[in-house]
Amino acid sequence: MQADLPRAADAGYIVSCEGDLTLAGTWAYAQREDDPLSGIDVSEANAEIPRKVRIDDYTITGLGFALFFFVLWLVPAAWGAYDDIRDSHVRNTLRREGHQADGVVVKSYAGRGSVDVLYKFSVDGFWYPGRAKIIADDYKVQAPGEAIPIRYLPKDPRA
C-alpha cells in the first residue's frame, strides 16, 4: 500500500518531462507562480558579467596569512634542497677526484640512527681534522685511535 505523496503540480510547480525517465531524458522545471524570483530575466541579470570584484579586508588578511605560512615553509625547503644539491656535488667530486687515506678516530658519538665521528688524517706530513656523520647500520662506534678509511681532495685536503 502506497502513501499519498504530494505531487509537484499540487504545490504550484510546473514539471514536464521529455523522453524517457533515464539520465538521457531532459527535465524542465519552472518556479512557482507566486515566487518573487519568477519574473527575473537571467540574461538581463547577468548583463554586467564580468563584474568588478572587490576583495574585502578579511580576504586580504587570509591571503596574507597564507602567504606568510607558504614563505615560512618555502625558505627551509629551499635551504634543505640547496644543502642536498651541494652535498651531492661534494660526494660526486670526491668519488671522481678523491684520494683514499687512513684517518684516525679522535672522538665518536652515537646519535639517533647515526654515528658522529671526529677524525684526523695525514697528507704529506701535515695533519688535517675532519668530521663525518655515518649511518649507524653501516658503521659501529669506533674507539679513539682506531683507523677509518676516508677520501679527500688532493687540491685541498681541508675540504
Which one has a higher pLDDT value, 56 or 18? 56
Cα angle: 7, vertex 8, 10; to 5 degrees: 65
Over 50: is that where the pLDDT of 26 sits? Answer: no
Determine the 3-state secondary structure of 137 from DSSP: helix
For the chain, list the domains and their CATH numbers. Answer: 100-152 (2.40.50)
- Pairwise CA distance, residues 140 & 110, whole Å: 9
Would you say the C-alpha torsion 98, 100, 101, 103 has a positive or negative sign? positive
pLDDT band at 30 (very low <50, low <70, confident <90, very high): low
Ranked by mean pLDDT, which of 3-17, 61-75, 113-127, 140-154 comes out on top?
61-75
Half-sphere exposure of 112 toward its Cβ, with a 13 Å CA cutoff? 0
144 cis-preceded (ω within 30 degrees of 0): no
Q: Which pLDDT score is estimated for 13?
A: 47
CB count in 10 Å sphere of residue 103: 23
Q: Which pLDDT score is estimated for 72?
A: 95
Q: Which pLDDT score is estimated for 32?
A: 60
Q: Name which of 132, 127, 128 is nearest 109 in CA terms.
A: 132
How high does pLDDT run on average in the chain?
A: 77
